[in-house]
Structure 1
């Protein structure tokens, strides 16, 4: 299990120069249904996102913001001043990070530790809390005060007016102080709030990976534990310290498909959501020289395709295509001349497999590996999921020994989800657990399973 910093009250879309913004941070699980009841120190930093000229990301000032500990801080609103250097017309984003650096550290070293989380770290016992970035906040000029018509008055009348105004002002300040002391002060209206956040990871190839989430409760527009764990697991075995290690025979078979496949490699992910796993896998495969062309097809319902394709483009994987062709993404070249192409497609488990699953309508050209992460949370969908998996893992034109395997990342949320395994066995599909990713907490660890027809 991992914990995620997010905004219960998001930042505003815009803010006036020299002012401040109000947010309410929270630390919760991936579905935002369970708060972290352990003290979490949170730091913040500002980064200019427009214009980018002259920006120095190596010297971000990271400051302690608060310690999140429910229930006292569950709904606590916090005011954060805008950076002093912010100017009208610029856009700045706000980052919240687990504050794990000692007070004696310099601002630069604090920034390096807080802002550069390596994706590989998520296969170990930490870090326990994920950072978050807001979207860019537009910096605007202060609004001019609205003045009434100017009236000339005599000196006595003016004095009386001033006295009356001062008396009213003093009374208003006193009443405002009383209301705030009781915790009932009305917060200022900052206008429309942001509806999206960004999470980032550093990669050991010197690059970055970023994923946009929405702050709504749409489950297909958030990062889930299993997707993050599987992305980190794949990166470690393909590019990290696990690449040269000895593995379980089934793990070796999966890695052999990914590393040494003869000819073009075709991968298909079910329930991709934000596209995190496909993006991480595409970045990990880039630079591997054993195959010339890899195609990763990330699938979900139509409601997820827009954000998924946007995340592909954000990670330099995509380009716009005509709507009737669907989001299709440009290949990632490597030094060897091989490439990785990522595309987003609709695949509804309630419907028969679409024709694009096989290339050029040739049933003998089929995905070589099926990938799924956290697809078991809704037991009501099991019959549909079972039908889709059965069709994908038993293509009619492929002989035994050439059928695809299934790589599944699973986090148990309800014991009833385990029924899927027996349902698969009744269809001749056998899975075996080959690894587990503990993440931040032992409770809620992610299991890695491999299997298929005639695989075990």
Structure 2
């Protein structure tokens, strides 16, 4: 699984008294932690559109990514007119094997998938104007539903989308016939009109937002460390209706601290945990939170998405087992070279 990222965000260059506008950006295609670059051939379509109701196409081009590349520059030049909208958006996507449709994300280990990238709107007519250091992912779900998830393009991995969240999203989007097979204990929960859901270590909030989009009557609380507050709040706003939504919310939650009253006084039906075991130093705190939540909510189902990155992560399963929290079911999600194991767990 690979992600298109902006190494240098789209930036406007123009000369005084000239209507010739140049937009430049530098992109890469890399894995979730940017530890490896895409090592195949890919044809990319780059477009510059007006950020207006018409979405006027101002410029487009095709560029080729080849094995061995680490980045590729993209430049648009167009002639502005008095009718040109001041704000624009740059989109970069692969012409084949796009990863934007969650219903088709399940793939063989040798099959490539590349997630498209949209920039923030920026003033394309003003010299020196640039997009923010964010990238938007537009993910197609089931029944014509879509979510828009912002993530950062910097190195802070807490505010990135990870394969575990994508695998969990894809599984939920392909119900009732997921290609992986069923996690049967989820079925009665997801057939209930209203359930109370808590997401731990949510990062950008992908899994919780998707579950709420698919089950809008459910109550979903998204949590992570305060460092994620800004990006998660932006994603809640991007996916809410014009009148807002009282059924989904964000709260900062530090696993090393006692459970706050809003959490300790609630009873949950489902807990989402996606890609939270990579940092072994935090595992004892995660286990402690899960232990307490299972005590407060007897019978709660834990849905865990786990991409194995190193053997030491096995300590998570050993430690939760000591607390009586065990694997109930599992399915393997093959996602274009990324294997993610999905588990239901509980006491």
TM-score, normalised via structure 2 length: 0.89
Gaps of 5+ in 2: none
Report the CA distance shift for 1:237/1:205 in structure 2 as closer, same or farther (over 3 A): closer
Question: 1:218 Cα shift?
Answer: 1.5
Q: How does 1:16-415 map to 2 (within 5 A)?
A: 16=14, 17-49=19-51, 51-52=52-53, 54-55=54-55, 63-70=61-68, 73-82=69-78, 89-100=85-96, 117-125=100-108, 128-140=113-125, 190=128, 194-237=132-175, 241-242=177-178, 248=182, 251-260=183-192, 264-286=194-216, 293-316=217-240, 330-331=245-246, 341-358=247-264, 361=265, 365-395=266-296, 402-415=298-311
**Kept in 1: contact 2:137–2:148 (CA 8 A):** yes
Gaps of 5+ in 1: 102-113, 143-189, 287-292, 320-328, 332-340
Between Structure 1 and Structure 2, how many residues are aligned? 341
Report the CA distance shift for 1:390/1:86 in structure 2 as closer, same or farther (over 3 A): farther
More helix by share: 1
CA distance in 2 between partners of 1:55 and 1:193 (Å): 17
SS in 1 for 2:197: strand
Question: 1:69 Cα shift?
Answer: 3.0
**Kept in 1: contact 2:4–2:27 (CA 8 A):** yes
Per the alignment, residue 425 of structure 1 pairs with: 321
CA distance in 1 between partners of 2:129 and 2:59 (Å): 27
Question: 1:86 Cα shift?
Answer: 8.6
**Kept in 1: contact 2:121–2:131 (CA 8 A):** no
Report the CA distance shift for 1:391/1:228 in structure 2 as closer, same or farther (over 3 A): same
**Kept in 2: contact 1:200–1:211 (CA 8 A):** yes
Question: 1:234 Cα shift?
Answer: 1.0
CA distance in 2 between partners of 1:300 and 1:230 (Å): 17
SS in 2 for 1:230: helix
Report the CA distance shift for 1:68/1:43 in structure 2 as closer, same or farther (over 3 A): farther
SS in 2 for 1:356: helix
Report the CA distance shift for 1:9/1:61 in structure 2 as closer, same or farther (over 3 A): closer
**Kept in 1: contact 2:92–2:118 (CA 8 A):** yes
CA RMSD of aligned residues (A): 2.7
SS in 1 for 2:207: helix
CA distance in 2 between partners of 1:5 and 1:452 (Å): 36
Report the CA distance shift for 1:100/1:235 in structure 2 as closer, same or farther (over 3 A): closer
Question: 1:385 Cα shift?
Answer: 1.0
**Kept in 2: contact 1:68–1:74 (CA 8 A):** no
Report the CA distance shift for 1:236/1:141 in structure 2 as closer, same or farther (over 3 A): closer
Deviations 1:95-153 (A, max 9, x none): 1111239xxxxxxxxxxxx7x942211133466111101112312267xxxxxxxxxxx
Question: 1:74 Cα shift?
Answer: 2.0
Per the alignment, residue 150 of structure 1 pairs with: none
Instruction: Decide which moves more: 26-35 or 373-382.
Output: 26-35
More strand by share: 2
Per the alignment, residue 167 of structure 1 pairs with: none
CA distance in 1 between partners of 2:240 and 2:250 (Å): 14
Deviations 1:225-273 (A, max 9, x none): 11011011112125xx44xx9955xx22212112136xx5210010111
